[in-house]
Structure 1
Amino acid sequence: MVKAAIKGDDEAFLEMMKAYKIDLYKTALAFLRNEGDALEAVQEVTFRAYKGIRSVREASYVKTWLIRIMINYCNDVLKKRKRVVFDEVILYSEGRIENHDGLEIRDAMKGLDDRSREILAMKYFQDLKISEIATALNHPEGTIKTWLNRALKALREKLGENGGGYRV
């Protein structure tokens, strides 16, 4: 299916996007923290993927390629927003009651640099392997492991500052 999509088969492309839309949505939601923005991100990434599908050289890396497009899009949106602060009152009033633990982890991740958020999202939200992350970011696996360790350490420190006694 992916190979057909790369060759220009529109039906195969639609099937491929259906197969990965949940992963893309989860990634967008992890970064943007808003259902509407996440849905818009999936639409935009679908468009970008359609424009660039012929540039994919290896069909087995299409998921990593799509996630990378999503992460880049989300980072662009976040830079435009210049850090919108969570408001727990709004979260509760909109009927999306979040688990307190989830809020602390999201707040802690929000305080991390872009690369750390990106690495953690790819590893833990998308369950990508170190080798897949290395391919997506075009860096050696050793570098990715170092960045991941630093990101986890920074996240632990942020959670410690917030009084959360969580093991990450």
Structure 2
Amino acid sequence: MAIDQLVLKAKEGDDEAFLQIISVLKIDLYKTALSYLRNEEDAIEAIQEVTFRAYKGLKELKEASYFKTWLIRIMINYCNDTLKMQKRMVLNEDLLLTMGKSENYSLMEIQDAMQSLDERSREILTLKYFHDLKIKDIAGTLDCPEGTVKTWLNKALKSLREKLEEKGGMSHV
């Protein structure tokens, strides 16, 4: 059964349908939580908390086709809140390593640059590159026009490049 149909059943009170959806998406939730929190125990706790929040807020979801992005958004918000409490930011190391190899930047330089970005920029980059979401899906998740998402994404990438160039410039001095 398609996720959209399961979401509709879950919204009508079918707990089994909700559990099936979570079962299908648990790996995505885990990867998201782990990329932010960098700790397996914290990631598992995040999945439990996000599952509970999604269950409580399911009736608020307007469009069933956006369930996955809505759920990932809840996870990102939870992780950001957790990180704010811990006063640290953690990134997806695999993406950073890949980016570092292609651009000849060290992992530390990329981590520093990402940490210095504003929250929206980190969020846009995470949705686009960590989750391979399309601009349309990001726009639905953030409840804003696609053009706005494109603008934010371009600004986030430009800021990241500038931060990396600043760091690179300093290391050659």
Q: Is the CA contact 1:30–1:121 (under 8 Å) kept in the aligned structure 2? A: no
- 1: distance between equivalents of 2:90 and 2:32? 19
Match of 1:108 in 2: 113
Q: 2:129 aligns with which of 116, 119, 124?
A: 124
Q: Is the CA contact 2:35–2:90 (under 8 Å) kept in the aligned structure 1? A: no
Match of 2:164 in 1: 159
Q: CA RMSD in A?
A: 2.4
Q: 1:6 aligns with which of 11, 14, 17?
A: 11
Q: When the two structures are superposed, what TM-score results if normalisation uses the length of structure 1?
A: 0.80
- 2: distance between equivalents of 1:72 and 1:140? 20
Q: Is the CA contact 2:37–2:79 (under 8 Å) kept in the aligned structure 1? A: yes
Matches within 5 A, 1:4-153: 4-83=9-88, 101=100, 103-104=107-108, 105-153=110-158
Counterpart of 1:120, as a letter, is L
How far 1:160 sits from its partner (Å)? 2.9
Structure 1 residues 84 and 150 mapped into 2: Cα distance closer, same or farther (>3 Å)?
closer
- Structure 1 unaligned spans of 5+: 87-97
Q: When the two structures are superposed, what TM-score results if normalisation uses the length of structure 2?
A: 0.78
